[in-house]
Amino acid sequence: MKNFIVIGLGRFGTAVARELYAVGKDVLAMDVKSENVQNIADYVTHAVTGDGRDPAVLQAIGIQDYDCAVVTVGDDVGSSALITMRLKEAGVPKVICKAQSHVHQRLLEKLGADRVVFPEHEMGIKTAQGLARSNILNFIELSPEFAIVEVDLPEGWAKRTIREMDVRAKYKVNIIAVRRGSEMHVAPGADWVLSGEDKLIVLGRDSDISALCGK
């Protein structure tokens, strides 16, 4: 997807629009408040003041030319629902919406939303995961069950090889890299001798990673 429209420029919408633009996407940012539009104008491709509930406004901006719309007016259930319906009627291929409750989510899905997100809820989960796993240094969620994490070397693993630890069979995770000091060693072999200073980058299910870390 190359062309995005972000409707609603609160904190979440602004962050989404700016990040999409930063990674090279064409982004149109829209909000009913001109102040919000002015604040983001220098950080997106285009910024306009307009009401996404109005079919005439959507037609005027050429909504049919956008690959994906992100509706972030989640605090206003009625507005987000109407905007979602208008976007799907206009033929936008993918519509992603912010919701504030599961009831809101079901409504948006019935109206055709392709994906519904709960930013505060998802951030709360990731924060809790970081706090609960004090020995996990970095966390990348691949799906609701799988992740890539960087962890301290478990106690008792130093001076032993990956083969001796039989990591895949015993712990059901894969060591995809080892960070030793400032160097990253990708795909270490079975004969790699582990050091107490090593940081392991492992891929696996959340439950198996937690077991590896003793959580």
Helix (H, G, I), strand (E, B), or coil: what is residue 15? helix
The domain spans of the chain are 3-117, 122-212
Q: Where are the beta strands (DSSP E) in 32-106?
A: 46-49, 68-71, 94-98
Report the mean per-residue pLDDT for the chain.
87
Report pLDDT digits (tens) over 55-107.
999 999 999 999 999 999 977 899 999 999 999 999 999 999 999 888 898 99
CATH of domain 3-117: 3.40.50.720
Element (H, E) at 17: helix 11-22
What is the CATH number that goes with domain 122-212? 3.30.70.1450
Q: Say how many C-beta atoms besides its own lie within 10 A of residue 68's C-beta.
A: 20
**Tokens 């930013």 map to which residue?**
119
Cα separation, 20 vs 22, in Å, equals: 5
- The alpha carbon dihedral of 203, 208, 210, 214 has a sign of negative
pLDDT digits (tens, 9 = 90+) for 61-74: 999 999 999 999 97
With vertex at residue 131, the alpha carbon angle to CA 183 and CA 166, rounded to the nearest 5 degrees, is 50
